[in-house]
Chain A
Amino acid sequence: MSWQPCVGLEVHVQLSTDSKMFCACPAEFGGEPNTRCCPVCLGLPGSLPVPNQEAIEHVLRTGLALNCQVAERCRFARKNYLYPDLAKNYQISQYDEPLTQDGYIDLDVNGQPVHIRIRRAHLEEDTGKNIHLLDGCSVVDYNRSGVPLMEVVTEPDFTSADEVRVYLTELRRILRYIGVSDADMEKGQMRCEPTVNLRNLQTDEATPKTEIKNLNSIRSVYEAVRYEIARQLRALETDEPLVQETRRWDETARQTVSMRRKETADDYMYFPDPDLVPLEPSSDWVADIRASIAELPTARRRRFVEEYGLPEYDASVLTEEKAVADYFEAVAAASGDPKAASNWVMTEVLRYLNEEGVTVDRFPLSPECVAELIALTADGTLSATIAREVFARACRDGRSPRQIVEQDGLAQISDTSELAKLVDEAIAANPKAVEDFRAGKEKALGAIVGHIMRTTKGQANPQLVNDLLRQKLSAS
């Protein structure tokens, strides 16, 4: 019998806005408890919510990027529940009329195309934060209450943990590209709850669904889904009963553990929120938003391969972050050499960003500076090694590569007569290596070249040194 895993994902995304969803309190993270609150997000009687236009546009932008249909008319609904993380006793959400729905995303999973249907992307408000005290009481901070939250729900189309991982990585990349969220799972800006079960492909029989919570990184989602699929398969084999339940991912034990069984469907008594008037996104408005969406990562990756002739791997590294891709394109344009631009950005620039822990907008060199380095290397003024040294100096003190080459005397020695003198000196200083080379030991040449590079602090043109050295050693 063949059982196929069916995984669906619910992803919550905190939207990047300055103010909350339905009131003007600042949406930023942190602050002293209950200092970013007002009558609306504290649910005080008589207060009225007004939706944040930017948050609505973020959801429209996401829906369009995920090929969704935008509702011609939709409403907010009240999701009623009794839990003090929201002071109103209900969450403003969307129910049967989401802002966007019926989309899809095409993924490349280890070279295989995978098509995932997106059920909906809708808008709701985040809850406050509960802290459970040891004395048996709980305390609540409503600073986060009412921060705009988008929910992106897929159909149960994933058949492996690998597909889930690729989807989340791509979704995060898209959200960052279109500027709707920083989508950092470690910071709780993106939260994911997978639903996992198995379906028998012959009989259409299915195991009960489990929902997994407490996942704080893409890595843990991947591991939890993989674990849960294996657990359910094992239970089938050994005839252990499976139940519909919520399971918690235990990060230390690296396994899912049962939290609570779900015997009845939750009754949230949804109804349209009478405090909010319907939304009717006009076609002009939607068209403007569609036009504002920059090229998405997958399209850009493909273009980098086709337009610049970059290898797939390089294209995917360069398009991982929009700002890095922008930077690379600026260097490519300024230097006219995309391949060299790709090498510089992928190695030196990204290494600098990693080591300094900064983003590319804080990178000290302009794309024109890097293009200058490329030009200086291409015309032989700088060897690859010296070019890296010039790069480091430019990062340190802000001088231009040309200035550094002139002021610090770092130009490569390509003058043949000068090099010939250096080669003679090196031959005289390394009689043993010369003898070895003549006896047929190719490698011995390296020692003599090394001598010259050392005495010139790397400034001798290595290719010319090699040629000259071979000439001299074979002539005499």
Chain B
Amino acid sequence: MPEIKREEVLHVANNLARLELSDDEVERLQYELGRIMEYFLELQKIDTRDVDITSHVLPMTNVLRDDQPGECLSQEDALSNAPDKIEGFFRVPRILEE
């Protein structure tokens, strides 16, 4: 089974997914991600040189809509799941300008 390093789990969790993990969780994920990688290594044995990358299982293309405006949610409904709101806006913790 390929080894997933503690730092790799922390990078994905903290930097990419913004999740905080306990030491136990990190250890468990090292094992579980290792198992997943092992399975992918198995898949990689298949020769896929002449196979297109699949991003979609439906054999469809060009599913489009006409440029017709329709109904929107009311402001109240739009904000109904917001953990925090103020005067019609979603309120979020301070974000530094990118």
Contact = CB atoms under 8 A, between A and B. Distances in A.
Interface residues of A, number: 52
A280 B61 contact: yes
A52 B81 CA distance: 27
Contacts of B18: 82
A391 to B, nearest CB: 40
Interface stretch (B29-37, B41-49, B83-91): B83-91
A50 interface: yes
A142 B90 contact: yes
A59 B18 CA distance: 35
Contacts of B65: 24, 50-53
Contact of B95 (A18, A80, A132): A132
B51 interface: no
A267 B67 contact: no
Nearest to B79: A34
A51 B60 CA distance: 14
Interface string B56-87: 10101111111111111111001101000011
Interface stretch (A36-44, A221-229, A237-245, A313-321): A36-44
A19 B78 contact: no
Interface string A120-142: 00000000001110001111111
A51 B65 CA distance: 6
Interface string A389-403: 000000000000000
A84 B92 contact: yes
B75 A54 contact: no
Contact of A131 (B53, B68, B89): B89
Nearest to A143: B72
A36 B55 CA distance: 30
Contacts of A271: 55
B67 A19 contact: yes
A236 interface: no
B24 interface: no
Contacts of B88: 32-35, 141
A282 to B, nearest CB: 8
Interface of B: 16, 18, 53, 55-56, 58, 60-75, 78-79, 81, 86-95, 97-98
